Chains A and B, each alone.
Chain A
Amino acid sequence: MPTYGPPFPGSSEPWQQPEQVYFEDVEEGMELPPKTKGPLTVTDMVVFSGATGDFAFIHHDREHAKGPGGLPDIILHGQCKLAFMTHVVTDWIGLEGRIKKLGGNYRGMDVVGDTVVSQGRVKRKFTENGENLVELDLWNENNRLGSTVTGSATVSLPSRSSR
């Protein structure tokens, strides 16, 4: 039985301080380093339920998820899917970048045994009211289903010239 705490079972790597990205370094079409989570276990889902208090039965009770829920199995929480996706952004923008907006739509259900790879790509960079902003396309790729979350974010980044 895995114990919890870094480095996490099913997470891609132990933590390393990511190198700070600057606005000047960003190009449209650039891909962000992906994050892999999984294969997902029942424990992963219960840990998220415990951390958030989200005890909707579809996330921990297989009999109920398949019966009254009408679902293929217990499914990963939408907010956990989104947080996996957000992890790509927080590591990329580093300590000096800021998330202005971020969101996702849940298009498919991640179940026990699935592996989820969260990914991102630079859509546009622009300056507005003196802020260096970058729009990102974000998504989670499930090994069985393809994309299970499609999302986007707007972030601000530091500039080399203002250092």
Chain B
Amino acid sequence: MTTDSSEFTISDELKSLVGREIDLGIAVVEAGAIAKFADAIKDPNPLYRDEEYAKGTPYGGIIAPPTFIHCFRDVGYARFNLEPLPWEKTTGLNGGNEFEIYGPMRPGDVITGKAKLVDIYARQSRSLGPMLFHIVEMTYTNQNNEMLGKQRSIGITYEAKE
């Protein structure tokens, strides 16, 4: 996908959503979900599965892989209601993700997520037409009020074809 000049104009109404903050809710980290995520990313490390092994490491127990937060479709991933859009039917792509990591997530952790819409801009894709980019920053805090990480995501919305 190549993007060059920006084409359609973003309405003031849409632009006014920038700065909006939302609560993403609460999610509980489960050992089974950690192991399934590790399977899906083809990482055989026992640190994500084997409590006996993990106890003998500096972590002292099973931890989740660094980007595990994506497993929570509500807490891990913010969906802002981006309206009004110039299209009737839309679809989306993920343009990128950046993490800051302060500590690992562990089985039993209760994670609270918050999100802020920090930017909206337009770009033109050669193959998929005009696109709306939306930049979201998320924070993840555990039950002890320790911030475990932040994520910045680049969301892309465009008109569904046909």
Contact = CB atoms under 8 A, between A and B. Distances in A.
A83 B41 CA distance: 6
A101 B100 contact: yes
Given A79-B94, A90-B65, A68 B89 contact: yes
A95 B41 contact: no
A100 B101 CA distance: 5
B73 interface: yes
Contacts of A53: 71-73
Interface in B89-111: 89, 91-101
B152 to A, nearest CB: 7
Contacts of B162: 67-68
A78 B66 contact: no
Contacts of A83: 37, 40-41, 43, 65, 67, 70
A106 B99 contact: no
A5 B39 contact: yes
B15 interface: no
A100 B154 CA distance: 20
Q: Which of B33, B42, B59 has the most CB of A within 10 A?
A: B42
A101 B37 CA distance: 20
Interface in A25-71: 37, 44, 47-48, 50-54, 56, 58, 67-70
Contact of B42 (A11, A50, A78, A96): A11
A80 B40 contact: yes
Interface of A: 4-8, 10-11, 14-15, 37, 44, 47-48, 50-54, 56, 58, 67-70, 77-80, 82-84, 86-87, 89-91, 95-96, 98-109
25 contacts: A5-B39, A7-B44, A8-B42, A47-B39, A50-B40, A51-B33, A51-B40, A52-B73, A53-B72, A54-B70, A58-B93, A67-B162, A69-B91, A70-B128, A78-B96, A86-B66, A90-B43, A90-B65, A95-B57, A99-B66, A99-B101, A101-B99, A104-B97, A105-B95, A107-B1
